[in-house]
Structure 1
Amino acid sequence: MAGLGVTELLIILAIVIVLFGASRIGDLGGAMGRGIREFRRGVRDEDATAPTDASKNESK
């Protein structure tokens, strides 16, 4: 994981808590989760609506 150990991750977590405060961490995590979910849904919908190469060749 990019050479990050447990100690480095704990330091990063501590800095994030200091910057944003403990109460906002949950809100940030929830917003990030919703954003990732919407991104995945958009990619999945795009794949479902995009024609495949086989269907393009059959229509010609």
Structure 2
Amino acid sequence: MEGIVWRPKQVAVLLDISRATLSRWRKTPGFPQPVQLGPRCVGFLRSDIDAWLASRKGAC
């Protein structure tokens, strides 16, 4: 695993959504899946989030 890792709270702030919404979005196809950092700790690769955002441009 390489790159910058964002914790769920940071991703929620970046996307301007609640943590509950982030949890729902994680269950949708195409949304980046978190990586396990420890027994009770997950994070999202910044590159995955950036790629997902780029793919969403013009989708709305």
Q: Which has the higher relative contact order, 1 or 2, with Cα contacts under 8 A spaced 6 or more apart? A: 2
Is TM-score (shorter-chain normalized) higher than 0.5?
no
Higher helix proportion: 1
TM-score (norm 2): 0.29
